[in-house]
Each structure stands twice: as structure tokens, then as C-alpha cells.
Chains A and B, each alone.
Chain A
Amino acid sequence: MESKTVTVLLNRAAEGDRIAAREVLPLVYHELRRLASARMAKLPPGQTLQATALVHEAYLAVNESQPLGYESRTQFFIFAARAMRDILVDAARRKSRIKHGGDLDRVELEDVGLVVETPVEDILALNQALDTLEIEDPEGHRIVMLRYFAGFSQSEVADALGVSERTIERRWRFLRAWLLQHQASPRDGL
């Protein structure tokens, strides 16, 4: 993948180009996978990657070739988080097709070297709740993506979205509760 392309697309997406946004996502996704497998090859067997480190590394790789503007930078992380979420949901869907029954239900992403202890059904239910949230409250959705899927700290989220840390803290508490509540509702239509 051309990092340059990512930058261009991101910059256009940041300006409101919806087509650019749709195109950039698979690119970020591939970039993450590429980075992950390159890193895995260098690691001793059994070692794992940190999701957050991975996302940041992808950002550095993209940013190096052609610096991103402030808006694009935030956009990138949200796309990266989105990519992580998609990777995860894909794996969860695969697993829920293969396995029935109550074993440990952890989703292992062997090729990325990540593991999620959250049960498969919860991931899929959460995915649905997030889709709803994206419609109801797009900014809230971005907060969740950055915190939960990109592993941002509170101040990093505040920084990326240009709001105060206090606001993020209060909103996060609400979003956390809202997601849990809506994730807990009947899980149909997976």
C-alpha cells in the first residue's frame, strides 16, 4: 500500500469526502495487517503485540511519507480503530459459525497476535450497539472507537477530538453505560 495514497484519501475524507472515507478504510486495514505480520516475524514465538502500539505504528508509517493535517490525523486513528473493530468482528463471526457451546469463547487473532477475552456474542452485540450509536451520536461513537478499539487514554481522546478532558470523562461514563445497556438487549439478527 502506498502511504501517500492513504494520506491523500484521509485528507479528502477529513474535508467531508465520503467516497474517500470509504476507500481509505481497507487501506488502513491492510496497513495494520502488514505491520502486524512484519512485527510478528521478528518476535520470538509466543510473544504478542499491543493493539495500541500497532495502531500508533501504522500512523507513524503513514505520517512519515507525507505528514497528515490535524483533522486527518484524528481521522486516521478513527479509521484504524474501525479497522481493528472489523478485524475483530470478522474473527468473532468466523468463530461463532464454527463453534457452538460454551467453551472459553475467546477470540484469537493469530495473524495479528491479539486476543480478546470478551465472549463472541458480546463482541457481536457490541458491534450492533456501536452501529446504533454511530447514527444517534457520531461524536460519541468516535470517542468509543478511540478509547476502546485504539486504546487511547482519556487525554489522547480529548486531544484528538479537540475537547476538554473533563468532557470526555463525563461523556465516556455515559457512553459506557449506554453501550452496556444496549448490548444487553436481545441479540438477534447477527
Chain B
Amino acid sequence: MSRERFQRLERLFMEALELAPPERAAFLDARCTDDPALRREVDELLAQDSADSPLSLPIYTPIEDSPQQIGPYRVLARIGEGGFGIIYLAEQLRPIQRQVAIKVLKAGMDSKAVLSRFEIERQALARIDHPNVARVLDAGVTDRGRPYFVMEYVNGLPITDYCDRERLDLRARMALMIPVCQAVQHAHQKGIIHRDLKPSNILIATADGKPVPKVIDFGIAKATATEMAVGTAITRFGQVIGTPEYMSPEQAASGGIDVDTRTDVYSLGVTLHFLLTGILPFDAVSPGRSAAAGRTHAPPEAPSVRPSRRVTTANVDPDVARQRRVDTNRELARVLNGDPDWIIMKAMEHDRGRRYQAISELSDDIGRFLRDEPVSAGPPSLGYRARKYARRHRIAFAIGAAVLVGILGVTAGVTIALIESNRQRALSEAARQKAEEARGEAETVTDFLARMLTAVDPDHLGRDVTVRQVLEGAAGSIDETFMQQPKLASRLLYEIGWTYRGLGETQRADSLLERSMRERSSLFGPESREAYQPMALLAEVAFDLGRFAEAESLHLRAYRGRRALLGANHDETIGSMLGLASFYSSMGRFAEAEPLHREAVRLCRRAYGEHAEKTLSALNNLAIHMEDVGRYPVAESLHRAVLEVRERQNGDSSTIVAATLNNLASHLLRQNRPDEAKPLLERSLNIRRASWRGAWSHQ
């Protein structure tokens, strides 16, 4: 090539660059009529013009070989690499000699910010102590200024690789997810959200030939989250750090700011999808493309395709079926169809309010599936309606302070009894003794609660002490504190069980109530008033957990027992009657439900009066029953009657009025009358908004 030609080439290239790309072709055509080869050459050069050219940065970059030492740890080998950085196997010598895994993050992160975010979580992380969690032990900065995290070393495979290697069938794969859920749930109880759950963060080690899942990387995603969000998520070569496929929509959309524990529910849903089907729920979005468009990755609105369908429609490797011990993908689809589908879909709901609200709910459902019991996730069916019914009747317990009242009520109750009895001048000796006893009990309980609350040291746990943490401490120390007072212990077991159920921790509630019932049966007799109390609640819990036969027998025993022991008009008998009636309604056994609903209303009127809240509540149940059996006009007039009385008694803006408005509105919606329902729902929403504002303004 002559110099002259070289210069011409350069001139044309530069002139073409000044033009908008669509105009370049015409320009070059006009200028290269005599020399088509030159024209082609300019085109080729223009195609090479990019700021991302490998020549754009100086050829030298600092060396990146394995360090000998990271902080106080001696590096043994490099064991992994990913978008985030490099993982080393290292040895800790002091205070104990052991092997650890060290994750050294990539260059370009603000190590100070990463570490200070990690420090915030450090206390909480230190409290994680679970056999299925690999603990994060330490963090620091390398000589070269890179942040690193030191973790318990897990010699294992990612859960998907392990399951494929062992050719585990669907049930075995599901079963392996239960301890994973328990690990994540444990961390949630300690106030830690994982934020980056995916198969490569769930390793399976083996101990005595049995698989032991270990969830790794707790606390790391949060420490590095903001760095990811501000743009270093895309490396020089366009590589996206992290695995957006497993990220919840809200996490992707908010850059990790607006997330709660349900983001982990979503990620485990995607993990389960991949584990069972061998494919992701969505077709992968090309990272390069989404990065170029400047978008954060967000999954499509909803996984509209059920996993079982996706297995047959998407391009699935035939090995996938064989690795799951079925012959064909069709066969795989058949076993996925039903509960596995619903469980995954529910965990992966786009709207987090419609997902499993806690990891424990997800693992409960997996457990139910494995025991061949009905799962909570599912299409509109009897089970679905039963849940809906139950939900409409359940009081919302979510607010922490309100929950404590459940426990504090024990003290208050005893103390009030004491004051009452002191006020009585004409006090029999027996009564006096009883009062003394009560005072002793009250003091013990007060002490217990005081210790429980102060044991939750904010410095130790971080600012957000949850009711769950308090309860956990309480449940754990009942036995030793009340060894001498088994009656009191059984009562506290009941109260804490009650509270757990309100928090949605049904499994925990189940075991505490079960114990309370057993102990009261032996202390007071199996047909005592004291034993019926936990029994009635256990019936509800059994229903929540899908053990319907057990729920029915407990309801019946409590109801019949109370009726015989206390009489039909007694408060507790009426409570049991309402419970049994609701149970039958939930199960769709309306013929059995109806006489109970009716009698409950009648008894309430007599016992509490026409306008008492309990009577209104019974009327509300009857209204819903009428809806259930399709007697809409009766149902509507009952709903309206309840609303009217509640408005009068509680004022227009009370939350109970909001709940009643919702019930009436859902009745109208059921009849396809949305225009009438809408203003009611708006009113209800406004009331709830105002009440939340009120609640928060006291903080």
C-alpha cells in the first residue's frame, strides 16, 4: 500500500465518522467510484471502530496471579472464578487450624463501601448458626485493595450438578430443598436476607454418604449490592456480574433497595424450577443486549408457562429426563404436572404479595407434597377456596407490638385477677392463698418476660429486633425457667404457639401447641377446660397444615367437650362452635356447616347481645356461608347489616369497618358487580392507609 493510498484511506474514514451511520454509505459510494477495494476497506475499518476495542486501554494491567497470602490466611489453591472475582482455598492457622474458602472480589469495587456494608451485617451474620449454612467468618482487604470474604470451606457440588450426577428423581430433589429452605429461613429469623440464591450458591457436601446442603455467601450480596447497581455490574468485556435469571423482579427493578425476605422465596422458586426441569423459567435475555439498551434485567411479568408445559415446549435436552429417572420429557412433564407446578409458580409470583410469604411456607408445601397431602399452592379449587375462606376470617397479627400483647396478656390477666382479689375485703382463706399463688405466678412470668426482652440486646442483634427473635428466646427457655411450675409452662407454650400462628410460623405453632395440649392433659386431665384451649387452636393449625382429618377430630372433641363441661352458652363453647362451623365451610361441607353457623348466631345474641362484636362476627360468618351456597340476596343483606352496625359502633374509619367493606366488596365481585365493589374497596384502602400512617407516626 502506498503512503498516498494510506492517507486517502484515513481521510475517508475520518470524514465518514463525522456523518451519521446511515449517511455513510452514500458518501462513500460517491467518493470511491474509482476504487471499490478502497471502499470495502473503509467499511471494514468503520466496523472495527469501537470504544470497547481491546486497544483502548494500555496493554499492561497489574499482575493477577494467585497470592501466597490473603490477610492472615495462607492460600493453598485457586478453586473457582466467576463474574464477581476469584475463590481460593486457604488455610487458617490461628486461632484454630482449618481450611477456609476466600472470595476475592474483582477490581473496580469501592472496597471501603463494600466492607462498611458488610460490617453492618456482621453481628447478625455471626448469629447464624445452622448446619446447612456455610458461615461467613471474616472479611478484609487484600494488599491490592480488593475486598475479600472468608467462608467456611464446603467441599461439594452445586445442587443441580449433584442431583444430575446422582440421577436423583423429582421427589429426592424436592426433599433436598427442604433443608435448604430451613437454612434460609434460619437466616431470615436472624434478620439476614441472602439476595443471591442460585444453584451455585447451594452446595451439596456429603457426610457419611448422605447429602448435606450448604448455602454459601450469606451477607455478601448485600455488601456488594450497591456496587452492582451503580454500574460496575457490567465489566469491560460486557460480562454481567451475578445471575439475573435468579433475581426477583423487585430486586432487579430497585437495584436491590426495595427487597425483603420474599426475594429469596423467588430465587428459590427459580432454583427449584431449574432443579426439576433442567431449564430456566424464562428464555435467557442476552446480557449484552440488555446492557447495551441500558436496562436493568427484569423478568417478564409472570411465568405464564407452567414448568410441566415448558419441559415439553422448550428445547430440553433428552438427558434431562434420564437424569431424573424418567424415560422421556413427556413423562417428566407428567410428574411435574400438578403440585410441583403450583409450588414453583407460587414461589415465583411476580407480585411478592402473592408468593409464599415466608420460606417456611415454601418448605411446608414441599413437605406436604412429599407426604402426599394437599399443598397450599394451587389453582382455584376446593383447597384454594378453603384458604380464601380461612384468610378472610383470620385476624391480622402481623404488627409486632400487637403480637406481644398475646404474651403480655398472661401477666396482665394474672395481675388484674390479683388486684381484683385484693380489693375484696371479705376474703376467704382459700381465696387468699389462691391470690398469693397468683401473685407468685405473676411475678415469675413478669420476670421471665422482662428477661426475655432485655436479653435482646440491640447492640448484639442490631436495631431491628423482631418479635420472632424474642419468641425464639422465650420458647427455648421455658423449660428451664418453669421447671417447678409446669402449669405456667403449659400456658406459656400455648401463648407462644398462638403468637407463632399469628406470625404464620405454623410448624412452630404446631409443636408448641401439641406440647401444651399434652402437658395440660396430664396436669388437668384430657377432658379439662385447660386441655381444650390448646386443642381448639391446634385444630386450626392442623387445618393450616393440611391435616384435615386431624383438624376435624380436634374441633369436634373441643366443641363437644366444652359443650358438655361448660354448657352451650359459654364463651369457649361458642368459640369452638364457630371454629367447627368455619372448618366445615372451608371443606365445602356446607350442609354440616349451616346449622352450626345459625346456632352460633343465636347463642351469641343471647350471650352477648344483638350488637356485640362477637355476634357481628358470627353474622359475618353466616353471610359468607350464604354466599358459599349461592343464596346471594340473603348474604348481601347480612353483610350490609353487619357493616351498618359496625360503622355506627366503631366509626367510619376503624379497621374493622375496612375489613367488613372488603367482605361486602368481595361478595359483590363474586356476583360480577365490580362497579358497586370499587367504591367500597377504595374506602377500605383509605382507612387502612390512614391507620398505617398513624401507626408509623408514633415511631
Contact = CB atoms under 8 A, between A and B. Distances in A.
B3 A149 contact: no
A177 B49 contact: yes
Interface string B35-75: 00000000011101100011110111111110111000000
Nearest to A49: B62
Interface stretch (A16-24, A72-80, A94-102, A111-119): A111-119
A139 to B, nearest CB: 11
A177 B48 contact: yes
B120 to A, nearest CB: 30
A178 interface: yes
Interface residue tally of chain B, by bracket? 20 to 34
Contact of A180 (B17, B48, B64): B48
Interface string A26-56: 0000000000000000001111111110000
A136 B60 contact: no
B356 interface: no
Contacts of A118: 54, 59
18 contacts: A45-B68, A48-B62, A48-B144, A51-B60, A52-B58, A113-B63, A114-B62, A115-B64, A137-B3, A148-B58, A171-B10, A174-B45, A176-B48, A176-B53, A177-B53, A178-B10, A180-B55, A181-B44
Interface string B1-20: 10100110110011001000
A136 B55 contact: no
Interface string A134-148: 001100000000011
B14 to A, nearest CB: 5
Contacts of B34: none
A44 B64 CA distance: 15
A147 B67 contact: no
Contacts of B53: 176-177, 180
A88 interface: yes
B60 A151 contact: yes
A161 interface: no
A52 B58 CA distance: 9
Contacts of B3: 136-137
B6 A136 contact: yes
Nearest to B5: A136
A122 B59 CA distance: 11
B55 A176 contact: yes
Contacts of B55: 148, 176, 179-180
Contacts of B46: 177
A40 B59 CA distance: 20
Contact of B60 (A50, A122, A137): A50
Contact of B13 (A47, A122, A177): A177
B675 interface: no
A108 interface: yes
Nearest to B41: A181
B10 A116 contact: no
Contacts of A171: 10
B613 to A, nearest CB: 73
B52 to A, nearest CB: 11
Nearest to A137: B6
Interface residues of A, number: 36
Contacts of B6: 136-137
B45 to A, nearest CB: 4
A147 B17 contact: no
Interface string B64-105: 110111000000000000000000000000000000000000
Interface string A98-136: 000000000010000111111000100000000000001
Contact of A116 (B9, B61, B143): B61
Find the residue from B1, B46, B61, B144 having the highest chain A CB count within 10 A: B61
B383 to A, nearest CB: 55
B492 to A, nearest CB: 58
A174 B58 contact: no
A117 B56 contact: no
B53 to A, nearest CB: 5
Given A52-B60, A181-B44, 6 more contacts: A115-B64, A117-B61, A118-B54, A149-B59, A173-B49, A178-B48
B13 A151 contact: no
Nearest to B142: A46
Nearest to B70: A46
A181 B143 CA distance: 39
Nearest to B47: A177
Contacts of B68: 45-46
A170 B14 contact: yes
A170 B17 contact: yes
Minimum-distance CB pairs A-B, first 4: A51-B60, A151-B58, A177-B48, A48-B62
Contacts of A115: 60-65
A47 B63 CA distance: 8
Contacts of A88: 59
A124 to B, nearest CB: 13
Given A47-B143, A52-B58, A173 B17 contact: yes
B58 A178 contact: no
B1 A46 contact: no
Interface string A157-176: 00000000000001101101
Interface in A175-190: 176-181
Contact of A181 (B45, B62, B69): B45
Nearest to A43: B143
Nearest to A180: B48
Contact of A174 (B10, B59, B143, B144): B10
B59 A148 contact: yes
B67 A176 contact: no
A47 B65 contact: no
Find the residue from B1, B10, B53, B69 having the highest chain A CB count within 10 A: B10
Contacts of A45: 68
A44 B67 CA distance: 11
A181 B1 CA distance: 15
B355 to A, nearest CB: 42
Find the residue from B9, B62, B67, B68 having the highest chain A CB count within 10 A: B62
A161 to B, nearest CB: 16
Interface string A50-83: 1110000000000000000000000000000000
Contacts of B7: 137
Contacts of A108: 63, 65
Contacts of A117: 61
Given A177-B13, A179-B55, A180-B53, A48 B63 contact: yes
